[in-house]
Structure 1
Amino acid sequence: MKIAVVILNWNGTKLLEQFLPSVIKYSPEAEIYVADNASTDDSVAFVKAYFPTVKIVENESNFGFAQGYNEALKHIDSEIYALVNSDIEVTENWLKPILETFENEPKTAIIQPKLLDFKQKEYFEYAGAAGGFLDKYGYPYCRGRVFKTLEKDNGQYDDNCEIFWASGACFFIRSSVYDELKGFDTDFFAHQEEIDLCWRAFNKGHQIKYNSQSVVFHVGGATLEHGNPKKTFLNFRNSLLMLLKNLPKKQLIPIILVRLLLDGVAGVKFLFQGNFKHLLAIVKAHFSFYSLVFEHYKKREPFQYEKYYKTKSIVYQYYVEDGKVFEN
């Protein structure tokens, strides 16, 4: 199958210098692209000078993750898109098991590889670990990562299975499905847009899979650090927008009301910790959500599956029952 590895870049010369060689070395099956989000450093010139086999798509502005990929992929013709962060180190034969799954399973639309931590290679990485799920209230968690607790990779997730969402750090999707879903929601800018896309794919009957035979290492936080208030704003706002768009209609208002309340609890926690910038980010996220309610309600598809979640409350499991490890 024809596959394009597409690396979204913004001012990432050092990351490209470090990680692009592994992508080139271990991706003989693929055409490799750098999709540049109007970098102000020498990223584009650097790639042209040192990696002449890599193709470049230049976006007119820094569109963020969502619109950045949407714009770039308009210029790329391939059956499969491999959307790869610039801080990903790939391994030998990482593409082969992915392509085999797509070849043999026509209902599989999206795949995630095993995502390990580049800094501690024996541990799963926060952004996707061994595949993502949601609880009833829309909180994301992963096999191998529940909130901030990361599991060591002892082979416990060396399988191929259906998941609910795949990490945007290394995200494989059929181009036909990407087009059907009209890509990422550009209003998200960055964060949780991949979960929203997977949920929309799920509601249309597509399958999302995890494949442990493909292994990559992720630095994480290389573009926007974990402690950045903008990240907090985007995560809280986008999570609410995702619920508004994808929840079954009869659960829409009750679930969102509970989430707003739980966000308030998180805000109080930030207050007592002295993290006033993050508290303000939650307040801003809520007001931004309120301003976008009508616009995003119109984006709802005619059908939503009732059972989208695996666990009723990952918050209760984690903080009250001390359930720090994923439960099958």
Structure 2
Amino acid sequence: MGDNASTDGSVEFIQTSYPNIRVIQNDANYGFTGGYNRVLARVEADYYILLNSDVEVHPCWIEPVITLMESDPLIAVAAPKIKSYNQKNSFEHAGAAGGFIDSFGYPFCRGRIVNETEQDNGQYEQSGEIFWASGASMFIKKKYWDEAEGFDEQFFAHMEEIDLCWRLKNSGYKVMYCAQSEIFHLGGGTLTAENPFKTYLNFRNNLLLIKRTCRFGKDLL
């Protein structure tokens, strides 16, 4: 478990209640981007699984994603189906059934457009290539994380996963959606939708995303 210098007693709780879990602690809050970069620099594994603290998982959710990623050496990143913790049959805002981006640089997902989310009625049961995977639950091969040098810390939080996926796609790798795995995301556990800092990060980072990654618009879908 990675901790970004939290002060809510969560580290002490984990250490007391689950002593077999290794906790890697940062000395300061480096944001989503810097926090992961520093934690994963201390982890040796073939795959990294990035998972938010406000996510519920079930047994056997990992194996289908790894199996998919092992099927093609060009697959760098993959994500499960992301549904709502509070409404179990609905897709969740952060990722849903795989992320895409339109010709204006606006990110969207299958199962969610703007603030509207769909019910999961089996309409996205086919795994396949997507444009970006949500950082709420992202699988990435370590060698590609290292090649991309992780997250761009300019983003601090929000859209950093789109930037990472875009850079990897520009290098010829694939980002996939795995329909056979699902998780349940509460959302807003760190920054609520009403938080002005969240609004600032979303607008600023969308502009930064396009400036940093787009090759004269040719990469936009």
Into which bin does the TM-score normalised by the smaller protein fall? over 0.9
Runs of 4+ with >3 A deviation: none
- Stretches of structure 1 that go unaligned for 5 or more consecutive residues are 1-33, 252-305, 310-328
Residue 220 of structure 2 is aligned with which of 294, 308, 314?
Answer: 308
Residue 73 of structure 2 is aligned with which of 81, 106, 129?
Answer: 106
Residue 123 of structure 2 is aligned with which of 153, 156, 161?
Answer: 156
Residue in 2 that maps onto 1:186: 153
Q: d(CA) in 2 for partners of 1:190 and 1:57?
A: 20
TM-score normalised by structure 2 residue count: 0.98
Residue in 1 that maps onto 2:88: 121
The secondary structure found in structure 2 opposite 1:77 is: coil
Deviations 1:19-44 (A, max 9, x none): xxxxxxxxxxxxxxx11111112111
Q: What is the Cα deviation at residue 307 of structure 1? A: 3.7
Residue in 2 that maps onto 1:141: 108
Q: Which has the larger radius of gyration?
A: 1
Task: State yes or no: 1:170 paired with 2:137.
Answer: yes
What letter is aligned with 1:83?
A: L
Matches within 5 A, 1:47-126: 47-126=14-93
Q: d(CA) in 2 for partners of 1:233 and 1:103?
A: 38
RMSD: 0.8
Percent identity, please. Answer: 48
- Stretches of structure 2 that go unaligned for 5 or more consecutive residues are none
Q: What is the Cα deviation at residue 131 of structure 1? A: 0.2
Q: What is the Cα deviation at residue 53 of structure 1? A: 1.6
Q: In the comparison of the two structures, how many residue pairs are matched?
A: 221
TM-score normalised by structure 1 residue count: 0.66
Which fold has the larger relative contact order, with Cα–Cα distance below 8 Å and residues 6 or more apart in sequence?
2
Q: d(CA) in 2 for partners of 1:123 and 1:146?
A: 13
What letter is aligned with 1:224?
A: L
Alpha-carbon contact 2:4-2:29 (below 8 Å) kept: yes
Higher helix share: 1
What letter is aligned with 2:178?
A: N
Q: What is the Cα deviation at residue 45 of structure 1? A: 1.3
Q: What is the Cα deviation at residue 92 of structure 1? A: 2.1
Deviations 1:289-326 (A, max 9, x none): xxxxxxxxxxxxxxxxx2431xxxxxxxxxxxxxxxxx
Deviations 1:49-75 (A, max 9, x none): 111121110001011100000000010
Q: d(CA) in 2 for partners of 1:125 and 1:181?
A: 28
What letter is aligned with 1:109?
A: A
